[in-house]
Structure 1
Amino acid sequence: MKQLRMPSFLHDVFGEKQSMGAIAAILLFGGMLTAALYGAFPEMTNDLPVWRSALAFVLIFDIGSGCIANFTASTSNFYAARKTNRLVFIAIHVHVVLVALLLHADIWYSLGVWAYTTIAALTVNALIGKQSQLVVAGFLLSVGLGGIPMLPGITPYMLIVCELFMLKVLFGFAVDHYGRAIRNFR
């Protein structure tokens, strides 16, 4: 499929080149996830100002879209070649906490998920160039995905947001899926 050159302000999202199919999949999943969550759980925005609901939905869209974008060769390779950008990206990703604050839901759980995800992602990131990276990432992701549903009383929509956030940052983003960073170290 033909690769489109991305404008520089979109490199952090799509990398330098991205196919139309990948862009469509990224945007479609983010949009469908956001709409499906609202359709299934309209009560999550009860009694909230429109601006809070809208901002929460933008962040949920970003989490969902990032789950797909971070697995594309273009995005993965863009960050594999830029170690500092990857660390900054991991550090600034507090989306799950912001969603919880905006929706007044599971704030303490989201802080725990964010802390675990950040520490695990930094651990996985430190293993770039090592064969163990993928196994460690898979292990840490499995622990997290297995543990989140056991949190007593977690709301279903925050369960989904927390798990996708973890997938996005810990496994989708922190892993060098295409070996680009290994080639850059040599």
Structure 2
Amino acid sequence: MKYFEVPKCFHEVFGEQQTRLEVFLTVLFACIATIVTFFLSGLSLNHWQVIAAFLIVFDVYAGCIANFSQGTNQFYAQRYKSRLIFIAIHFHNVIIALLLDMYVQESLLIWGYTIVSACIVNFLKSNRLQTFIAANLFCFGILVLLSLSMPNWLILISLFFMFKVIVSFAVDHHKQK
């Protein structure tokens, strides 16, 4: 697979080197998932808040895939402090809830669980159980999510948010030997 140099402004998303296929599939999934979620929501694009919320939804979906790529994974594996900052700034689901003015308390709960779980997984970077613990925490998060009274489309966004941060990002998928 042939790699290309990623422009510096996109290093946080795709790392320093990436394949065209990985970029294409990341953007394709994010576009399709965002459109499907938008139609499931029944909302209309008549307010800037809805447009802004779904741009953030796009970022959640894109990160679910991009973080598994070798380029993105390697970028953050070499920058421990940047990895911690990336985890800390993930307020996506809370911002979406605030923009849409719905389920803010539930989103705060999901956010808190996700960030604590991601920090635990990130701390286990050199541990062979890192992926197992991430999967376990994600599955417990699903139980928490399903106990909340939210519409399915918002649960879907929350599931992908948890997956993005706990499993896709916090796990070092391409450990250097």
TM-score, normalised to structure 2's length? 0.95
Q: 1:96 is paired with a residue of what secondary structure?
A: helix
Q: Report the counterpart of residue 41 of structure 1 in structure 2.
A: 41
* Distance in 2 separating the partners of 1:103 and 1:157: 13
Taking only the aligned residue pairs, the percentage that are identical comes to: 37
Question: 1:41, CA displacement in angstroms?
Answer: 2.0
Question: In 2, are the aligned partners of 1:100 and 1:158 still within 8 Å (CA)?
Answer: no
Match of 1:54 among 51, 54, 75: 51
Runs of 4+ in 1 over 3 A off after TM superposition: none
Q: Report the counterpart of residue 14 of structure 1 in structure 2.
A: 14
Match of 1:166 among 162, 165, 169: 162
* Distance in 1 separating the partners of 2:41 and 2:110: 21
Q: Report the counterpart of residue 154 of structure 1 in structure 2.
A: 150
* Distance in 2 separating the partners of 1:40 and 1:134: 31
Q: 1:4 is paired with a residue of what secondary structure?
A: strand
* Distance in 2 separating the partners of 1:60 and 1:14: 18
Given residue 34 of structure 2, which amino acid in structure 1 is its aligned partner?
A: T
* Distance in 1 separating the partners of 2:37 and 2:133: 31
* Distance in 2 separating the partners of 1:146 and 1:17: 37
Question: 1:176, CA displacement in angstroms?
Answer: 0.3
* Distance in 2 separating the partners of 1:103 and 1:37: 14
Question: In 2, are the aligned partners of 1:100 and 1:106 still within 8 Å (CA)?
Answer: yes
Deviations 1:123-142 (A, max 9, x none): 11111011121111111011
Question: 1:117, CA displacement in angstroms?
Answer: 0.4
> Which residues of structure 1 form unaligned runs of 5+?
none
Given residue 69 of structure 1, which amino acid in structure 2 is its aligned partner?
A: A
TM-score, normalised to structure 1's length? 0.91
Given residue 11 of structure 1, which amino acid in structure 2 is its aligned partner?
A: H
Given residue 25 of structure 1, which amino acid in structure 2 is its aligned partner?
A: L
* Distance in 2 separating the partners of 1:70 and 1:3: 16
> Which residues of structure 2 form unaligned runs of 5+?
none
Question: 1:147, CA displacement in angstroms?
Answer: 2.3
